[in-house]
Amino acid sequence: MAEANQLFKEFKIQSVSEFFRRNAAMLGYTGKVRSLTTLVHEAVTNSLDACEEAGIPPYVRVEVEELGREHYKVVVEDNGPGIPEKYITHVFGKMLAGTKAHRNIQSRGQQGIGISGAVMFAQVTSGKATRVITSTGDDIIEAWVKIDVEKNEGKIVKKERHPNPKGWRGTRIELEVKNVRYIRSKQGVYWYLKLTAIANPHAHIELIEPDGKLIVFPRSTEEVPKPPVEMKPHPRGVLTDDIYRMSRKTRRNTVRRFLVGEFSRISDKKVDELIEYIAALRLIKTEQDKNVQEQLYKRLAEGDVKAVLRSFRGYTKVVKQVAKMMEKPPEKLTWHEAEEIVEAFKYMKFLAPPTHGLRPIGEENIEKGLTTILKPEFVTAVTRPPKVYSGGIPFQVEVGIAYGGEIPSGFELLRYANRVPLLFDAGACVTTSAARSIDWKRYKVDDLDRAPLVLMINVVSVHVPYTGTGKQSIASDDDIYNEIRLAIMDAARKLQTYLSGKHRRLYQVKRRKTFEKYVPEIARALSILVGVPEEEVKKYFLSFIESRFSDSDVEEPAVVEEVAENA
C-alpha cells in the first residue's frame, strides 16, 4: 500500500503535460498520425460500448475537421443511451476511472484510461476543453469538460441546458487537438474505422474527412452482441499482485471463502489441497540437501503431495498453521502469503478455465462484415472453440477470408484483438508470423502476394498478451500461434474448395466451347459425305453436346490415347 501511495503522490505533482510525455507510448499518443487514430479509437470505443450495453444497434459518426496546420477538431457522435448529467465528469474526467481496468473481462479498452485520456490529450495540445452534448432522452446537456490535474477528476467549465423537443438521445463529443495529422494511410483514421466496421457488423459507422468527403460503412446485421461478462480469474493465470489486491477489495470474511468465491475452479476441497501444497513447499524450503530438495520438488510436481509431507517429521503442525491462515480475514493476507499461494497454484492441477465470458464476433457476422465492407466474391469465416494459453488464460481465435470481387490484388492481413484493429507493429505480431507460415499454394492460392485476398484474424481473450507497451501486436505464444494456424487452415480449406470449383466451372465452359466451335465445320463435312442437310447435322451435334454437359460433370471417355504424330 505504501508503494501505491507513493506512486499516487508522484503522479499528483507531475504536470499533466509531463505525465503525457512520459507515458505517451504506453497510452498510444505517439506520432502525429497515430495520436489522432488513438483519439478517435477511444471515442468510438466508448460509443460502441455504450450502445452495446444498452442493446442499441450503434450509429457512430466521426467528423474530422481541419482548423489549421496540424490542428483539427474531432467530432464523434453516437445514438447511445446518453450520459446522465451527474456522471459526465466521471466519464470524461477521471483518469483510470475505467470500470473495466482491473476486471477480469474481455474489453475493447486496452489502455485503461479511455476517453479521459483523449480529453487530456486535447487539453494539453490545444488547451481547449472538450465539448460534450448528451441526452438520455430528457433535456439536452451541453457541457465543456476539462480535467483538474490537481484532483485527478473532471471539471465542467461551462454547462448549458437545452430543450429536447424531438427526444434525441445519444452523445456527441468535440475535441480540439493540435500536433496531429490526418492521412489516409493504413495507420490513419479512415483505415481504423474501416477495420472497425468489418469487426463490428452491427454498427453503422460514418466518417467525414477533412476535405468534406463522406464515407459510410453500413451496418450488415441488426444483432447487437451481448456485452461480455466478467470471469473470475483462473488460479493458473493470476499473479501475486492480483491476489493481494483482490484480497483488499473482497467482501468475503475468510481467505478460504475469498479463494473459493473470487476465483474460478477453486472449491473447498481444492483449498484443502492448497493447504497441503503450501505446507509441503514450506517444508521443502527447510531441507538443507540441494539434491533431496530437487527430488522433493519433482515429486510435488507429480502430485505426490502426501508422500512429500510424510517425509518430514511433524508435518501436521505445519499443515495446521497453513490451515489457520485460510481462516483469517482476507485483508490480513500478507504479500508473502499471497506469493505462497501463487507458487502452490503452479504445482496444482485445475480444471481449464471457463470460457463463457469470451465474446467472439462469430462466423456469420465476420462474413457479413467482410461482405459489406470489402464486397468480395467469396467470403468465409472460422471461429475456433475457446482454448487456454499459459495454463489458465482462456482465449479464442477467429479468422475470416475474403477473396476476389472488389478486393485489389495483394495479400492484406487485418489484425484484431478483442475486435479492436491493430494497426501498428505488424511485423512483431504472432498473427503475421502465423499467416506467413501457411503454405498457401496448398489452398490453390498460387501467389499470395498477388492474390486478391484479405485475411482477418481476431484474437479474443480476457488478457491478450501484447508485446511491449504499445499494445499493437500480440506476443508469440505457442498455444496462440498454433491455434491461429489451425483457424487459418480451416478457413483456407473452404477457400480452396471454392477456388477449385471455380476452376472446374471455367474449365467446363472452355471445354464446351472447344466442341461447339467445331460443329459448323463438322456439319458441313458430314453433310457432303452423307447428303443430310447441314443444319440438321448441326442440330444433332449441338443437342448431343447440350445433353452431355447438362449431366453436371462429364468425364472424358476412357480412350487409348492418340500416339504422338511423328510421321
Partner 1 sequence: MPKRKIHREKPKEKFSYDPRKVLKALEEYGRRVLEDIKAGKNPYFDIPMRGISNVYFDEKARVIRMGDKLSRRYFLNVAHARKFMQTLLIMAYVKRLVSEDKHASLREAYYANKHTIPGTHENTFEDQSESDPIIEDLERMLGVLREEMHLTADRRGYIYGDIVIRDGEDEFNTSKLGRGGWAVPGTVEHLQFVEVNVDYVLVVETAAMADRLIEEKYAQKENALIVATQGQASRGVRRLIHRLHYEQGLPIIVFTDGDPYGWYIYSTIKQGSINLAYLSDKLATPEAKFVGMTMDDIKKYGLQNVTEKLKGIPPNKKGGPTGDYKRILEEMEYPWFQNKEWQRQLKMALEMGVRIEQQALANKSLEFVAKEYLPEKINNGELLP
Q: How far is the CB of 550 from partner 1 (least distance, A)?
A: 12
Shortest CB 365 distance to partner 1, Å: 44
The three-state DSSP-derived secondary structure of 338-391 is HHHHHHHHHHCCCCCCCCCCCCCCCHHHHHHHHHHHHCCCEEEEEECCCEEECC
Q: Could you say whether residue 517 binds partner 1 (CB under 8 A)?
A: yes
Does 218 participate in binding partner 1 (rule CB under 8 A)? no
Number of residues engaging partner 1 in binding (CB under 8 A): 34
Residue 524 is a binding residue for partner 1 (CB under 8 A): yes
Least Cβ distance, residue 549 to partner 1 (angstroms): 10
Given 71, 191, 526, 534, the residue binding partner 1 (CB under 8 A): 526
Taking CB under 8 A as the binding criterion, the range among 114-122, 194-202, 424-432, 555-563 that sits at the site for partner 1 is 555-563
Q: Is 518 in the site for partner 1 (CB under 8 A)?
A: yes
Using the rule CB under 8 A, is 350 a contact of partner 1? no
Q: How far apart are CA 394 and CA 403, in angstroms?
A: 30
Distance CA 46, CA 111 (A): 13
Which range in 48-56, 289-297, 470-478, 539-547 contacts partner 1 by CB under 8 A? 539-547
Nearer to partner 1, 13 or 560 (CB): 560
Residues 6+ apart with CB under 8 A from 445: 451, 453, 492, 495, 499
Q: Which three cell numbers stand for residue 145?
A: 469538460
Q: Does 547 bind partner 1 (CB under 8 A)?
A: yes
Residues contacting 66, CB < 8 A, separation 6+: 72, 182, 210
Cβ distance to partner 1 smaller for residue 157 or 532 = 532
Answer for which of 352, 413, 426, 554 binds partner 1 (CB under 8 A) is 554
Half-sphere exposure of 189 (CA within 13 A, CB side): 30
Please say which residue, 297 or 541, places its beta carbon nearer to partner 1: 541
320-327, Cβ contacts within 8 angstroms, sequence gap of 24 or more: 321/279, 322/275, 322/278, 322/279, 322/282, 323/275, 325/255, 325/278, 326/254, 326/255, 326/256, 326/259, 326/271, 326/274, 326/275, 327/254, 327/255, 327/256
Tell whether residue 508 is a contact of partner 1 (CB under 8 A).
no
- The yes or no reply on residue 557 touching partner 1 (CB under 8 A) is yes
Stretch touching partner 1 by CB under 8 A, among 183-191, 192-200, 444-452, 530-538 = 530-538
Under the binding rule (CB under 8 A), the answer on residue 4 touching partner 1 is no
- CA dihedral in degrees (339, 343, 344, 346; nearest 10)? 140
Q: Does 532 bind partner 1 (CB under 8 A)?
A: yes
Task: For residue 551, state whether it binds partner 1 (rule: CB under 8 A).
Answer: no
Q: Which is nearer to partner 1, 163 or 557 (CB)?
A: 557
> Which range touches partner 1 (CB under 8 A), out of 126-134, 247-255, 362-370, 544-552?
544-552
**Residue from 289, 521, 535, 553 in contact with partner 1 (CB under 8 A):** 521
Pairing of strands 453-461, 412-417: parallel
Return the number of the residue (139 or 536) whose C-beta is nearest partner 1: 536
DSSP string across 66-102: EEETTEEEEEEEE-S----GGGHHHHHH-TT--TTTT
Tell me the residue ranges of DSSP E strands in 226-269.
Answer: none
Asked if 321 is part of the footprint of partner 1 (rule: CB under 8 A), the reply reads: no
- Residue 267 has which C-alpha cell? 472449491
Task: Please state, in angstroms and rounded to a whole number, the distance separating the CA atoms of residues 66 and 527.
Answer: 78
Q: What are phi and psi of 450, to 5 degrees?
A: -120, 5
Q: Which C-beta is closer to partner 1: that of 352 or that of 526?
A: 526
Please identify, using beta-carbon distances, which residue of 297 and 549 lies nearer to partner 1.
549
504 makes contact with partner 1 (CB under 8 A): no
Give min distance, CB of 524 to partner 1, in A: 7
* Position 561 contacts partner 1 (CB under 8 A): yes
- Residue 18: all three cell numbers together: 509531463
Among 530, 534, 551, 553, binds partner 1 (CB under 8 A): 530
Examine residue 529 and tell whether it contacts partner 1 (CB under 8 A): yes
* Close Cβ partners of 376 (under 8 Å, ≥ 6 residues apart): 370, 402, 403, 404, 405, 406, 407, 452, 454
Nine cell digits for residue 432: 503475421
What crossing angle do the helices spanning 430-437 and 478-530 adopt, rounded to 10°? 40
Does position 468 interact with partner 1 (CB under 8 A)? The reply is no
Q: CA angle, 483 as apex, 479 and 489 as ends, to 5°?
A: 150
Under rule CB under 8 A, residue 212 binds partner 1: no
Interaction of residue 533 with partner 1, rule CB under 8 A = no
Q: CA–CA separation, 324 vs 305, rounded Å?
A: 19
Q: Partners of 61 in the beta sheet?
A: 77, 206
Check residue 537 for interaction with partner 1 (CB under 8 A). yes
Residue ranges in contact with partner 1 by CB under 8 A:
511, 514-515, 517-518, 520-522, 524-526, 528-530, 532, 537, 540-541, 544-545, 547-548, 554, 556-557, 559-567
